[in-house]
Amino acid sequence: MIEFTGDYFDGRTSRPVPAVFACDGPWLMIRDRNNSLLLRVGLKDCSIDPPLGRTARTIRLPGNAVCETFDHDAVAALEKTAKQNPVLRLVHAIEASRRAVLLSLVGIILSVWLFHTFVIPSLAGRIAFSLPAGIADTVSSQTLKVLDSRLLQPSGLDADRTAALRTAFDRIVAETGSDASRCRLEFRKSPVVGPNAFALPSGLVVMTDELVALAETDEELEAILYHELAHVRNRHALRMVVQDAGIFLVVSALAGDLSGISSAAASLPTVLAQSGYSREFEREADRFAVQYLIRRKSGVIPFQDILRRISKTGTALPGEAVFSTHPVMEDRLQDIEKMKNALR
């Protein structure tokens, strides 16, 4: 027999009656403290509310009557007898166990880390490559407007110089098999950004006048262009947008609602300026540039020279955050040297 004490509410008044509850087989009997029978009801007609921490347990009876008790063990036994709330009883048992709570917390942290480190980047890559060209155009257009209004100024290079560099860019586009109808080179002046270049998802590559002035040879600028085209081909900017926006954009894209991607374009200028590409994306773009530089027999020295010279100006390297101060230049140059040796 299961027996416990608590309060009985008859459903007609709000006055609690101290009572003793006893379950004998299929029946639940309720008696007052004088042992007078108040109610006898079938257990199958009772509804036991799920446990919630250490709050009072509630048993709902026919006719809006209610039993309340703090005897959790007795009500748990009553639940088993009535075969109610099996899943929620398990949840409550886990909640009541410190070890189970600690293990659950560790599991949640590990799951979030795995999702953020592996699942989100993988899904972001698939989403970025499946997005229509119109999305990339929208993201690029909005990003360039923001950058032109805040960081960039019209180029001061003469027409002959820009024409020569665009011819070299077109040759690189054809050489790498990139989409010539979408890839184009633009020039801007920017004392804030300094000598730099960056690629937008649509295929637009922007090179600053300061970078052109800093370069000692066109081979150095062409090395940078190879690098930036790799960002375009691998859709690194779109992947950054999706990854930074996180689960919301992943779910939206998988559900077919791409409007969130366009809205997230507003974050791309900030990402380019303050975060830069991930080291993985940078290595991928550097490897692409090294492959073609070796294929052209020009070697990686022009690439290393221009990166080293940019670093000495105190501005960010191409692909890194515009306002970055991280000392990554030597690591990057060493990586390029390793790539060159591996490809020989």
Per-residue pLDDT of 52-105, as tens digits, reads: 777 898 999 988 899 999 998 898 888 888 877 665 556 656 666 678 778 878
| SS3 at position 305 | helix
Give yes or no for a contact between 261 and 310, defined as CB atoms under 8 angstroms apart: no
CA-nearest of 182, 183, 211 to 305 is 211
Position 326 confidence tier, pLDDT thresholds 50, 70, 90:
very low
- Domain coverage including residue 55: 2-85
**CA 206, CA 30: separation in Å to the nearest integer?**
82
- Structure-token pair, residue 249: 């954009």
Which is more confident, 282 or 53? Answer: 282
Closest to 87 in 3D by CA, of 68, 23, 101, 95: 95
323: pLDDT strictly greater than 70: no
C-alpha span between 64 and 66 (Å, rounded): 6
What's the chain's average pLDDT?
Answer: 83
* Residue 73: partners with Cβ closer than 8 Å, 6 or more residues away: none
Read off the pLDDT of each residue in 118-143 and give the average, rounded to a whole number. 83
Query: What is the CB neighbour count within 10 angstroms for residue 50?
Result: 14
Is the domain of 191 the same as that of 234?
Answer: yes
Residue-wise pLDDT for 127-137, tens only, equals: 788 888 888 88
Total count of domains within the chain: 2
- For the ranges 128-142, 184-198, 260-274, the maximum mean pLDDT occurs at 184-198
- Say what the pLDDT of residue 331 is: 86
Quote the CA–CA distance of 200 and 179 in Å, as a whole number.
14
pLDDT band per the 50, 70, 90 thresholds, residue 276: low
Say if residue 160 is in the same domain as residue 55. Answer: no
> What's the distance, Cα to Cα, between the start and end of the chain in Å?
84
Q: Of 36, 59, 85, which closes a domain?
A: 85
**Minimum mean pLDDT among 128-132, 198-202, 205-209: which range?**
128-132
Considering the domain architecture, whether residues 171 and 70 belong to the same structural domain is answered as no
Identify the weakest region by mean pLDDT among 62-76, 171-185, 208-222, 266-280: 266-280
Q: What Å distances lie between residue 211 and 55, 95, 285, CA to CA? A: 68, 60, 18
Residue 187 inside a domain? The answer is yes
> What are the structure tokens assigned to 129, written together?
């490559």
Res 264: pLDDT: 52
Q: Among 4-18, 197-211, 222-236, 270-284, whose mean pLDDT is lowest?
A: 270-284
**Rg for the chain, CA atoms, rounded:** 34
In a shared domain, residues 133 and 24: no
**Are 142 and 232 members of one domain?**
yes
Q: Is 85 left (phi over 0), alpha (psi -120 to 50) or beta?
A: left
* Distant-in-sequence, close-in-space partners of 309: CB < 8 Å, separation ≥ 6: 195, 214, 216
124 and 44 part of one domain: no
